[in-house]
Amino acid sequence: MTSNKEIHETCFMKEKCLKYETCPMVLVQNLLSGKRKILILWYLNYETLRFNELRKKLPDVTQKMLTQQLRSLEADGLIYRNIYPVTPPKVEYGLTELGRKIIPILEMMHGFGADYLEKAELSSPVQEK
């Protein structure tokens, strides 16, 4: 069993982490916390997609919400938006270099989450939103 101390030493805690407003972890959480943002990044990690292609993959997201999330991800520099000046419009979304760098975090979250679910199945059901 690992001691708190051991873990503590691998932890690169800094002053700014202790203030919620300047904490880099909290920032990342904010980057990812819009509804379906994780899934959008996950899909775009496979291939660039057009607006309606994404929409088909996320059938429970309204057009408005998808636009909102995409705009937010773009503003945060995680995805790019490429407009082809044609009619009807063609708009292509993909991960930026920065966006690709956040994928390993999602993978790690996936690893923990999958473990967690396995254990949860053995005991009580997990609260989901």
Partner DNA sequence: ATTTTAAGTACCCTTTTAGATACTACGGCA
Partner DNA sequence: TGCCGTAGTATCTAAAAGGGTACTTAAAAT
Q: Which residues bind a second copy (CB under 8 A)?
A: 1-2, 4, 7-8, 10-13, 17-18, 20-21, 23-33, 36, 38-39, 42, 45-47, 57-58, 60, 75-76, 95, 97-98, 100-117, 119, 126-129
CB-nearer residue toward DNA: 50 or 100: 50
Contact 24, 11 (CB under 8 A): no
CB-nearer residue toward DNA: 22 or 33: 33
> What does the alpha-carbon distance between residue 93 and residue 1 come to, in Å, rounded to a whole number?
45
> What does the alpha-carbon distance between residue 55 and residue 58 come to, in Å, rounded to a whole number?
5
Shortest CB 10 distance to DNA, Å: 28
Partner whose footprint covers residue 121, from DNA, a second copy, none (CB < 5 to 8 Å by kind): none
The radius of gyration computed from the CA coordinates of the chain, to the nearest angstrom, equals 18
Shortest CB 41 distance to DNA, Å: 15
Shortest CB 99 distance to a second copy, Å: 10
Shortest CB 1 distance to DNA, Å: 25
CB-nearer residue toward DNA: 65 or 106: 65
Closest CA to 24 of 34, 10, 14: 14
Contact 95, 65 (CB under 8 A): no
Q: Show the beta-strand stretches assigned E in 1-129.
A: 49-50, 79-84, 90-95
